[in-house]
Structure 1
């Protein structure tokens, strides 16, 4: 059942976000749009409450409980940037706003971008692990929360793999393709 709630929360996130942006731009209801956008984080509160209630009511932690904690962590860390991403596109399409920003492709700007995204992943891992540890302490029964310990390692592994992107971009930054090759070198066709 908790998997269904996680799915419903994901759908709810996008529905509330879309409703807020539609109210804000095509319908020109700025206050209504703002109120709906403020409600986006409430989806995470619903999921956290459902997870805690299930465990406190005697449920044994399983895959879904760990997934819920990870989902909330990533939603907290990346939610604002996802809302901004969608807002830029709606503003451009419906309100004559500037074209949406794209991630940088080269050089120092790309390296900074990758480290910033990794910083968000660190925050997501910290929030997710904090929720897992809080649930373990709240239930107070190691036998019922054993599956949550495995999620601590999973989140750590995801973060370790994620670190490869900023590290490789730092060591070997992407360079723009040379538009004017040196004399004597033909451009491939």
Structure 2
């Protein structure tokens, strides 16, 4: 595994470590400001990954799928980061601290609307991630060295289209609650 791939793994681990430490500070240590500060570090992790990826390519590396994945990671993390933290916060409060209500699952058209909102976020994550990938392609200025980035743009476009079809399907065949 190359350096950028390891950095993606390190950033993902750092993301979750910072979130968990933020929750521990907030709920167990009762340090609201420290908890907020730790949770606010998550975008810094994305920035570090973007800088490392850009520098690696700028210094002459040929783009790999790991370089491309960093663009995807950044887009997804920026757009979904807040909702991921809220999702984890709700579960931490209920399962660890034993506060708050049990996380609810939604079904039917409510679920379809929720999935549509997620798809719209996916579109935004796609725009940010593709922007990062095009930025890296522009920095390198060598199509032979950026083929993995271009390939990722194509497959992510297909995934976005498939996700749209799934979104539409939830309106046609709403998700049913278990009996």
TM-score by length of 1: 0.87
- Take 2:36 and 2:177, find their aligned partners in 1: how far apart are those partners? 40
Runs of 4+ displaced beyond 6 Å: none
2:100 is matched with: 97
Larger relative contact order (C-alpha < 8 A, sep ≥ 6)?
A: 2
2:67 is matched with: 65
- Take 1:96 and 1:176, find their aligned partners in 2: how far apart are those partners? 25
1:30 is matched with: 32
The structure richer in helix per residue is: 2
Structure 2 contact 107–174 (Cα < 8 Å) conserved: no
Structure 1 contact 129–152 (Cα < 8 Å) conserved: yes
Query: Could you say if the C-alpha distance between residues 15 and 129 of structure 1 is closer, same or farther in structure 2, counting changes exceeding 3 Å?
Result: same
Shift of residue 76, structure 1, vs aligned partner = 1.3
Shift of residue 143, structure 1, vs aligned partner = 2.4
Structure 1 contact 25–95 (Cα < 8 Å) conserved: no
- Take 1:26 and 1:35, find their aligned partners in 2: how far apart are those partners? 15
Stretches of structure 2 that go unaligned for 5 or more consecutive residues are none
Superposition pairs of residues 136-155 of structure 1, within 5 angstroms: 136-155=137-156
1:14 is matched with: 16
- Bigger radius of gyration: 1
Give the superposed CA RMSD: 1.7
TM-score by length of 2: 0.91
Instruction: Note the alpha carbon deviations across 1:98-126, whole angstroms, 9 max, x for none.
Output: 333x34112x2111011011111111111
1:157 aligns with 2:162: no
Aligned length: 176
Shift of residue 61, structure 1, vs aligned partner = 0.9
Instruction: Note the alpha carbon deviations across 1:49-103, whole angstroms, 9 max, x for none.
Output: 1100101111111111111111111111211111001111223342622333x34
